């Protein structure tokens, strides 16, 4: 077998997959859109993300609805994901994702309930580092949270898409005010928009420009 230099492949040798640990805006694809239901009945969507540079962010869990049916702020984020990926409908179905298997201590592909229509969609995410106390030990631990969503190829936010804006401005404005780290160790964080998400789904659909 002969070997032939492929310069493009040679460059990839210096690239290593890394985990996103710093606050900032990232463009990439959704690699997991899993249906979540917590032990107390809270519902949500678990996202995983792979940026264009190969770095990844997992366990970007967004909770959307309490067991009582009361909407949570995360419902707004999920709606923004649908809007910024131009996905009008994402029925529940089976998806295959990578998950850590504790029994064999390795990552395996498993089938779970999720939203196939979102898998592989390009998306822009503003991720913010959070430091919180472990719920059992109290030790400091870091995690990344979705702070904002935008259309990867244009920089438009969901509001700008729905308003048919001609220039993306909201993302840059938000990044100017975003703290590099959110410290949740001393007191619970209440999002400034923690209000009931709009239940007027029909009105939302009528406004979709795509």
Q: What is the pLDDT of residues 89-123, one digit of tens each?
A: 999 999 999 888 888 888 889 999 999 999 999 99
The H-assigned helical ranges of the chain are 7-12, 74-84, 158-162, 170-177, 201-207
Tell me if residue 44 falls in helix, strand or coil: strand
Q: What confidence score (pLDDT) does residue 207 get?
A: 55
Distance CA 169, CA 82 (A): 20
pTM: 0.81
Q: What confidence score (pLDDT) does residue 14 get?
A: 61
Q: What confidence score (pLDDT) does residue 166 get?
A: 96
Decide if 129 contacts 144 (C-beta within 8 A): yes
Q: What confidence score (pLDDT) does residue 203 get?
A: 44
Structure token pair of residue 116:
């196939």
Chain-centroid distance of CA 108 in Å reads: 21
Q: Which residues of the chain have pLDDT under 70?
A: 1-2, 9-17, 186-210
Q: What confidence score (pLDDT) does residue 100 get?
A: 80
Distance CA 159, CA 193 (A): 15
**Domain boundaries in the chain?**
18-205
Distance CA 191, CA 128 (A): 13
């Amino acid at each position: 077998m002969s070997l032939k230099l492929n310069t493009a492949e040679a460059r990839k040798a210096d690239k290593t997959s890394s985990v996103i640990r710093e606050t900032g805006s990232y463009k990439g694809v959704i690699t997991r859109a899993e249906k979540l239901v917590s032990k107390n009945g809270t519902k949500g969507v678990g996202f995983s993300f792979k940026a264009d540079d190969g770095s990844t962010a997992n366990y970007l869990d967004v909770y959307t609805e309490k067991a009582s049916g009361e909407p949570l702020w995360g419902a707004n984020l999920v709606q923004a994901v649908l809007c910024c990926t131009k996905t009008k409908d994402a029925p529940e179905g089976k998806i295959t994702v990578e998950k850590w298997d504790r029994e064999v201590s390795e990552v395996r592909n498993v089938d779970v309930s999720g939203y196939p229509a979102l898998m592989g969609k390009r998306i822009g995410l503003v991720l913010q580092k959070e430091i919180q106390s472990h719920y059992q030990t109290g030790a400091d631990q870091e995690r990344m949270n979705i702070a904002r969503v935008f259309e990867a190829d244009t920089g438009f936010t969901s509001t700008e898409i729905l308003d048919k804006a001609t220039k993306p401005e909201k993302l840059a404005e938000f990044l100017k005010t975003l703290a590099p780290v959110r410290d949740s160790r001393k007191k619970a964080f209440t999002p400034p928009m923690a209000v009931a998400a709009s239940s007027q789904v029909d009105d939302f659909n009528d406004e979709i420009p795509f």
